[in-house]
Chain A
Amino acid sequence: MELLNYLHTGFSVALQPINLFYCFVGVFIGTLVGVLPGIGPVGAMSLLLPITFKSTPESAIIMLAGIYYGTMYGGSTTSILVNIPGEAASVVTCLDGYQMARQGRAGPALGIAAFGSFIAGTFAIVGLMLMAPPLSKFALRFGPPEYFSLMFLGMTILIYLAHGSMLKALLMATIGIVLGLVGLDSINARPRLTFGRMELMDGIGLAPIVMGLFGVSEVLLNIEKEIQIKTFDTKIKGLLPTAKDWQESKWALVRGSLLGFFLGILPGGGGVIASFITYAVEKKVSKHPERFGKGAIEGVAAPEAANNAAAGGAFIPLMTLGIPTNAVIALLLGAFMIHSVQPGPLLMKQNPGLFWGVVTSMYIGNIMLLVLNLPLIGIWVQVLKVPYKILFPLILLLCLIGVYSISNTVFDIYIMVVFGVVGYLMKKFEYEGAPLVLAYILGPLFENNLRKSLIMSQGSSSIFFLRPISAIFLILAFVILISPLIPGIGKKRDVVAALTEEND
């Protein structure tokens, strides 16, 4: 069989000792980078790029790819332990992961994140291997109208992220959209809400907002509670997920892998959107949606599976079309170019050793990551025993360095601090950060694609209904919107609301 031939070619490259070494270095650095908040894969990869100038293209790409998917493993760690997302794709993991840690279940949360990452990562590699060419063709059918409808669906699903008052969630989403407006208008390059500041011309960065809202605010909140709270250093119950945990999260892992993989293929999609859409889906299909936000293990398993599967999926447009779907993949494209390799339609034919070598190295890298991460869980859990007065200044320091390192501007630090205070007040008054962040991410994409579609159709909105893929998304969104009116489905939301009120 042809595929076996290819696999043979691939493994003969990936199993060379030097490539095994580069693969290990890559995933190891990736794990570290993922754990440190703010310092993302883009920064790490661009720093290490010159080191790979002298190596073979195979080794270089194997290492850089390892950093990328390694980050996705590590990103959940700080989300779960201290409620600070290690990178943007782990924002959603905070919701239930941190609650699990507070209940003494940090071990199972980290465990399911590692296993989920492994399962989804492996799934994505198989998908990449078997279906790369047809899938990349399918992704091309996504034009502005399709993206608009996908974002519309995303915005509709957003309400499922809230577990408190719907009104407050909508308010937060509105603020998120307004924040997303800041900067140069993407259609006519006119400044909006920049107040004449150059720093705001490209909008407010995602990292300062997220780290302020989730990280800094958490530190502020804990400073004041320090004396009362002793729950954290209560006994840690187990390090690995139990049979019951597996039972609860197995379908979440499957759904997360599938959705993440397909959303990862789309340009502009990627891990962030995939992680929160799968979270919302889990909450929707769950028999006990009231558990979400209070430490449901599915709420960790699904988004973690999704962002890893998305990382794998993102390789498809790069390898088959030469199209970078996000900043990390763009860096990989640069690395290919430096090594005189042109990714694109001809890559599989011209450089089979490179293509299959990189793909098979991802299998090996995923196994390395699992072996690397499982023993680390025991160590990470100990972090929770570090006294607050040492842990929190450290967290704050890491946040500051992380935010500064992204675009090397002090202005971002100010933004993070402001959002830290805002996030603190939001927690005090029980407003949630997740709808704000996600509306902030989706808003600009939503507007940009709406306007591009209307330019294409010269003002006629029929474009959204006449194109089949777009129409399907809109119908799905419509079904979700009217679902409270349908008896049976509608009840569930009431039950959720009632339970939430009871708990408050």
Chain B
Amino acid sequence: MKIKKWGSGVFVGFFFFSLFFAFQAMAADFPTKPVTLICPWPPGGAVDTFFRVYAESTKKYLGQPVIIENKPGGAGTVGPAAMAATAKPDGYTVAQISVTLFRYQHMMKVDYDSLKDFTYILGLSGYTFGVVVKSDAPWKTFDELIAYAKDNPGKITYGSPGAGTTQNITMERISKDRGIKWIHVPMKGTGENMPALLGGHINVAADSTGFAPYVDSGQMRLLVTFGEKRTKKWPQVPTLKELGYGIVVESPFGLAGPKGMDLKVVKILHDVFKKGLEDPETLKILEKLDMLYAYKNTEDYVKQVKELFEEERILVEKLGLKKN
């Protein structure tokens, strides 16, 4: 009996002891445990690859591991939506926010509000998109392709990584603006889009830089990229903007936590994730994946989010994809 009492005394002692430390930790320093970063894409894609390297680089500055949790679905919307609905705004859970989060809100009924349910932390990166044709295709420039499509309505079939993806939306914008009619064949990701072009099942492919190896080995010709500036890797290829299409698409993405996060924690996370982004290892993988360095501080990122939300609303309406 005596031993038992003694045991419970020690237990109670430990309990208060640990409670004391828990409180102190909460007040003094964040973080005291690993931070979970939700990657809303399946393992293995470009974004997932980037985050795995980025998490390793950020660990050094955070003093705690960054754990990548893949929660794929709904073109990158299920992960952040689930976080907004269930995670505590304590800074230990953050998610990647991609443009689809804003787009889907206009396209269909979703159970989040991207303007209200998140605490945006910082902007990180964006993608390089472009249009490729097979190297034996007759079109040497993007203008030639557009001219052909204009004269031959319904003759050009183009593939994209899926319906409602940025590549698909951009190609439809071009067709609306130029009054051309081409046929969209929605593929399942780059992994299906590239072989379909190589095998001659489609004439044109709009994709992100999954086309890099084929362009470099001379099997495909890159006609145009969608970014603000020409790419470092293919400086001879013009942008849509230069060609006078008035379109710049980089699909910037960043990090956010659930709504209601403590501003001090946001500041710490911002500083640490910024250092991680500027780490040489991270910059190296960004270049490897042809992704942009597009850092934005918290204030600018929040501003950008509002702009993107509005942009997507107009686009979705214009292309007739609005929810009914």
Contacts and interface: CB of A to CB of B under 8 A. Distances in A.
Interface string B18-60: 0000000000000000000000001111101100110110000
B199 A186 contact: no
A456 B201 contact: yes
Contact of A327 (B44, B52, B195, B288): B44
A445 to B, nearest CB: 9
A322 interface: yes
Interface centre among A190, A196, A327, A338 (most CB of B within 10 A): A338
Contacts of B219: 345
B78 A201 contact: yes
Contacts of A337: 46, 49, 285, 288-289
Contacts of B89: none
Contacts of A409: 71, 82
Contact of A46 (B68, B78, B163, B217): B68
B288 A340 contact: yes
A341 B198 CA distance: 21
A334 B78 contact: no
A202 B78 contact: yes
B249 to A, nearest CB: 18
B214 A42 contact: no
Contacts of B198: 140, 321
A452 B186 contact: yes
A267 B288 CA distance: 24
B294 interface: no
Contacts of A325: 191
B73 to A, nearest CB: 4
B57 to A, nearest CB: 10
Interface in B101-117: 107-111
Given A53-B53, A321-B195, A456-B201, A202 B216 contact: no
A338 B53 contact: yes
A338 B110 CA distance: 35
Interface in B181-206: 183-188, 191-192, 194-196, 198-202
A46 B186 contact: no
Given A187-B186, A334-B48, A407-B73, A342 B194 contact: no
A170 interface: no
Interface in B242-300: 284-285, 288-289
A236 interface: no
Interface in A318-354: 321-325, 327-334, 337-338, 340, 342-346
A458 interface: yes
Contact of A334 (B52, B55, B187, B212): B52
B42 A330 contact: yes
Interface stretch (A141-149, A275-283, A288-296, A496-504): A141-149
B43 A331 contact: yes
A50 B43 contact: no
A46 B44 contact: yes
Contact of A343 (B72, B163, B202, B213): B213
Contacts of A142: 195, 199
A346 B185 contact: no
B52 A344 contact: no
B70 interface: yes
Given A338-B52, A338-B53, A323 B191 contact: yes
Contact of B185 (A45, A324, A455): A455
A345 B183 contact: no
Interface residues of A, number: 58
A188 interface: yes
A456 B294 CA distance: 38
A6 B161 CA distance: 36
Contacts of B188: 186, 268, 448
A259 B217 CA distance: 31
B154 interface: yes
B163 A267 contact: no
A345 B28 CA distance: 54
A323 B194 contact: yes
B183 A330 contact: no
A458 to B, nearest CB: 7
Contacts of A233: none
A346 B216 contact: yes
B81 interface: yes
Contact of B42 (A184, A186, A327): A327
A347 B73 CA distance: 32
B69 interface: yes
Given A46-B48, A342-B213, A143 B199 contact: yes
B212 A140 contact: no
Contacts of B56: 50, 53
A139 interface: yes
A329 to B, nearest CB: 8
Given A53-B56, A189-B107, A344-B217, 16 more contacts: A42-B42, A46-B70, A49-B52, A140-B198, A142-B199, A189-B164, A189-B186, A190-B108, A317-B195, A323-B195, A327-B42, A334-B44, A334-B52, A345-B214, A407-B73, A452-B186
> Which 7 residue pairs are nearest across A and B when measured between Cβ atoms?
A143-B201, A330-B44, A344-B213, A331-B44, A140-B199, A334-B49, A189-B164
13 contacts: A46-B52, A46-B68, A143-B201, A186-B163, A198-B73, A198-B77, A198-B110, A327-B44, A337-B46, A337-B285, A346-B216, A407-B70, A407-B71
Interface of B: 42-46, 48-49, 52-53, 55-56, 68-75, 77-78, 81-82, 107-111, 154, 157, 162-164, 183-188, 191-192, 194-196, 198-202, 212-214, 216-217, 219, 284-285, 288-289
